[in-house]
Amino acid sequence: MVSAAPPSESTVLHVGGLHYAGEKAVVEHALGARPGVIDVDANPVAQTATVTFDPAQTSVEDLRRWVQECGYHCAGQSVPGHVCDPMAERTAPHRAHDRAAVERAADAHGHGHGGHAGMSMDSMVRDMRDRFLVAVVFTIPIVLWSTVGTNLLGTELPTPFGIDRDVWQFLLSLPIVFYSSTIFFTGAVNALRNRTLDMMVLVAVAIGTAWVYSVAVTFFVDGEVFYESAGMLASFVLLGHWFEMRARGGANDAVRTLLDLAPPKAVIVREGEPVEVPTAEVAVGDLLLVRPGSKVPVDATVEEGESHVDESTVTGESLPVRKAPGDQLIGATINQNGTLRARASAVGSDTALAQVVKLVQEAQNSKAPGQRLADRAAFWLVLVALVGGTLTFVVWYLVVGRDLQESLLFAITVVVITCPDALGLATPTAIMVGTSLGAKRGILFKNAIALEQAAALDTVVFDKTGTLTRGEPEVVDVATADGIDEDEVLRLVAGAEGDSEHPLARAIVEAARSRGLQPPRTDAFEAVPGHGLLATVDGRRVLVGNARLLEAHGISRDGLAARSEEMAGAGRTSVEVAVGDRAAAVIAIADAPRETSAEAIRALREQGVRAVMLSGDSQATARRIAARLGIDEVIAEVLPADKAAKIRELQSAPSARRVAMVGDGVNDAPALAQADVGIAIGAGTDVAVETADVVLMRSDPLDVATAITISRGTRRKMHQNLAWAVGYNSLALPIAAGVLEPVGFVLRPEVGAISMAGSSIIVALNAVSLRRLRLPGRDGAGPHDT
C-alpha cells in the first residue's frame, strides 16, 4: 500500500541580501536541509523564496530564523510577532496597521533587501552605487601610482610625504577591500558555511588573492604588486551589478502594485454611526460603509445600495461592474457612483487580493525545467572556474615557465570571467517579467511550468457555457405577427414577467429595459405550471409560455408556428406570446456569447492554435454558437463525467497534440486537471480555479490568446538568455586562460570583470524587454511578438 503524502503548507518568505543570482543556491541548500522542509524555490530577482514544509515538523517562525542563520535577512523581523511574509504584515487583521509598516512590507517584497534588514531595492541599488563610487574613487589614484599608470603617464608620480609607493597603494586599497568588497567576502562565507559554491566565492577569491598577494609583496617578499587589478576588479564588478540591479529592479512591479492597492483605512458602522478604523482591524461580519470614490477595504457582500465598481485594479476588467444587494465586492476595488453598505466576508490573507499576490509570488519563485538544469550547471561552473583557475596558474607558472605575477593574473581572469551570474539570471528574470505582464492583464500563471508549457499549446478546448458564453440567457430574436409592434410586445411581456425570478423572464425584462421601454403595471397574474403565465397588463390579456398554453386557450398559432419551430431547431428557446385572442410574437432566448469570444478564436487562429468547443448541449445549440464564433470543431452532448476523457482523446491523437482546457465549473475540474494546461475563468467556481494552472481574473476568453502570447515571449527570452550565458562562458574561459596569448591577445582581470558584468546586464535587459511584448485585444496592438 502506498502511504499518503504528509500534509504540507507553503509560504513566501522574503530573503534580503541576495545580491547575485548565484546566491539562491545557498538559501535553497541551507533551507532544504532543515527538518520538515519539503521544497525550496528561491528567486534572487524578487528577493523571495517559496518554501513548502510539513507544519507538523516546522513552522514559519523556524523558517524565518533559519533564513537569518544562513546569513540573510527576513522581512518584518524588526516588528515583534511578524513573520517573513510581507502580505501578512500588510493585511494581518490582528496587528497594528500603520503606513510605515505597510511601506516596509511593500518594499520588502517588491524590491528586496540589501546589506541590512529593511533595505528596499531602491536602497539596495544606492548601496551598490555607493560601494562602486568608493571603489572607483580609490582605484583611480592606485592606478596612477602603479606601474600601469607610470607607463601611461610616461613619468612616476611622487607619493605624499614620501611614503613608499607600495605602502601608499596599500593604504588606498583599504576602503576598497574593507568597505566596497565586503559583500563579496560575506557572501562567500555564507556559501561555504552552507557547503555550496556561488559567484560570491569566485569574486572573493579573485579580489582576495590579488590583494593578499600584493600585501605580501609590500611587507614580506620581493615582487610586483597589483593593487590596481584588485581595485579595478572590485570597481567593474560593482558597476556591472549596479546597472544589472537597476535593469532587473522593474521586473517585479506587479507585486508591489498589488500590495499598494489595499487602502490603509476603512469605514465601519457601529451602533448606527460610521467610524474610521485601520483596515487591519476590520473583522469578518463588520458592516462596511463604502462611499463613492473610495476603495473597498476588504472582501464583502453588499447589503444595501446600488453602484458601479471599478474592478480593473484586481481583475483587469476595464468596464465598471454593477453591484446590488447580494453581490460580492472585492477588496481594493473602487466604488464609483453610489453608497454601499456591505458585510465583510474575508479579511487579511483570506482576501482575493491577498490570494492574487500569493499566486503571483509563488509563480515568480517557481522554476521552469530549464532553470533547474541551469542551477545545477551554475554550481558546476563555479567549480570549473576554481579548478580552471588553479590549472591555469599551474600550467603558466610550472609548465610554461612564466613569472608568478603573470601566471596569477591569468588565473584570476579565469576565475572572474567564468562567474555564472548570467546563467543564474537567465530564466528567473524572464519568468518575473512574464508573470508580472500577465498579472497586469488579470492573467495569473500559478507556476513557471505552466508559463513554459502554454507556449507549446496547439489546441485549446473551450467549455461553452460560462466560458465562451455568459452563462445567462438573453433575448436574441423577436418575431411578430403582421401588424404587431415588436417594442410593444416586449413592453407588455416585461410587465407580465416583472415579478418573476425565472431566468427566461429576467432575460425578457432586461431586453425591454435595454431598449428604454417602461414595463406597465400588471393588474392580474396567474402562473400555469409547465406552460407559462396568464396576466392582465394595461387592461389586455397577455399569455406568455409554450405552444400548449396558447392551444389550451384556443388561440391559433398560424403564421408563428413555423418561426417557433425554426428557432427551436437552431438551438434556441422559444417563448410564444398572445395578446388578447391573437398570437402576437415568438421571442427567441439563448445563452449569448461573450463580447470577445469571436475575437479570441480569431487571435488563436492567427497563432496557429486550433480551437475546439466542448458542450453538454445538443448538436444544434452547440453548432449555432460555434458557427457564430468561427469555431469549426465541436464536441457536443458530452456528459460532465466524460469531459476529461474527451481531453485524453485529443492528447492521444496521432499528431500528439498539446491541449489546454478552458472552463469555469465544478464539472470542468477533472478536464482542467487532465489537460496539459488547465485555464480557469476567474468568475468560475473555487474548484475550477484551484485545479487550473492559469486563472483569467476578468473572465475574458481573449485572455487565452494573450496568455499564450506572453508564454511564447517568455520562453523565447529564456532560451535566448540561456544560449547567451552558455555561449559566453564556453568562449570566455579558454580566452581568459590565455589560449590566444601566442597571437598577442590577453585579457586582464579587470577586462574579465567588465565582460562578466556586461553579460549579466545583457541577460537582465533582454528579459526586461519582454515588457514591450505586443498583446492581443484591447491592451495590445495585435497578436505579434517582439
Q: How far apart are alpha carbons 254 and 249 in whole angstroms?
A: 12
Q: Mean pLDDT over residues 295-316, rounded?
A: 84
Reported as a single tens digit per residue, the pLDDT across 663-677 is 876 677 788 888 999
Residues 43, 44, 47, 53, CA torsion sign: positive
Nearest to residue 553, comparing CAs of 530, 516, 580? Answer: 580
Return the CATH class of domain 471-593. alpha beta
Residue 471 has pLDDT above 90, yes or no: no
The answer to whether residue 463 is catalytic is yes
The reported pLDDT for the residue numbered 232 is 85
| Res. 709 pLDDT band, cuts 50 70 90 | very high
Question: Is residue 540 over pLDDT 60?
Answer: yes
Say which residues have a Cβ less than 8 Å from residue 113's Cβ, sequence separation at least 6.
Answer: 14, 15, 16, 17, 47, 72, 73, 75, 119, 120, 124
Ranges 34-43, 72-81, 514-523, 620-629: which has the least confidence = 72-81
**176 secondary structure, DSSP code:** I
User: Per residue, what are the HEC states of 554-574?
Assistant: CCCCCCCHHHHHHHHHCCCEE
Q: Please tell me the predicted confidence (pLDDT) of residue 5.
A: 52
Q: How confident is the model at residue 551 (pLDDT cuts 50, 70, 90)?
A: confident
pLDDT tens for 85-137 read 433 333 333 333 333 333 333 333 333 333 333 455 667 788 889 999 999 99
What CATH architecture is 264-352?
Distorted Sandwich (2.70)
pLDDT of residue 266: 92
Q: Which CATH number fits domain 9-111: 1.10.150.450, 2.70.98.40, 3.30.70.100, 1.10.1240.10?
A: 3.30.70.100
pLDDT at 392: 93
Please state the rounded mean pLDDT for residues 747-764.
Answer: 78
Q: What is the pLDDT of residue 257?
A: 63
How confident is the model over 509-520, as a mean pLDDT? 88
Q: In whole numbers, what is the pLDDT of the chain averaged over residues?
A: 80
Q: How far apart are the first and last CA of the chain?
A: 52
- In this prediction, residues 339-357 reach a mean pLDDT of 84
Q: What is the pLDDT of residue 256?
A: 61
Please identify which of the residues 299, 463, 617, 700 carries the catalytic annotation.
463
What pLDDT is stored for residue 244 in this prediction? 65
The C-alpha cell at 451 is: 508559463
- Whole-number pLDDT of residue 689: 64
Q: Which residue ranges make up each domain of the chain?
A: 9-111, 264-352, 442-469+596-705, 471-593
pLDDT value at residue 141? 94
% of the chain at pLDDT higher than 90: 21
User: How far is Cα 610 from Cα 207, in angstroms, rounded to an integer?
Assistant: 56
CA 231 – CA 132 distance, rounded (Å):
10
> Which has more pLDDT, 160 or 246?
160
**pTM score:** 0.66
pLDDT at position 703, please?
93
Asked whether residue 581 carries a pLDDT value surpassing 60, the answer given is: yes
Tell me the chain's radius of gyration from C-alpha atoms. Answer: 34
Q: Distances in Å between the alpha carbon of 333 and those of 7, 262, 292, 314, 756?
A: 34, 8, 12, 7, 45
For 496-535, give one letter per residue: b (16+ CB within 10 A) or e.
bbbebeeebbbbbbebbeeeebebbebeebeebeebbbbb
- Alpha carbon distances (Å) from 632 to 478, 590, 618: 28, 20, 16
Per CATH, the number for 442-469+596-705 is: 3.40.50.1000
Least confident of 202-211, 291-300, 421-430, 636-645: 421-430
Tally the C-alpha atoms within 13 A of residue 105's C-alpha that lie toward its C-beta. Answer: 26
Query: Which carries the bigger pLDDT value, residue 363 or residue 293?
Result: 293
Q: 8-32 pLDDT, tens per residue?
A: 888 888 787 666 655 677 788 778 8
Percent above pLDDT 70 for the chain: 82
Return the sign of the alpha-carbon dihedral for residues 631, 633, 639, 641.
negative
Section 312-336 average pLDDT: 79
The whole-number pLDDT of residue 363 equals: 63
- The pLDDT of residue 240 is above 50: yes
Which residue, 358, 426, 385, 390, is CA-closest to 720? 426
The CA distance from 664 to 683, in Å, is 7
Q: Please write the tens of the pLDDT for every residue from 248-304.
A: 555 555 556 666 677 889 999 998 899 999 988 899 999 999 999 899 999 999 999
| pLDDT for the residue numbered 367 | 60
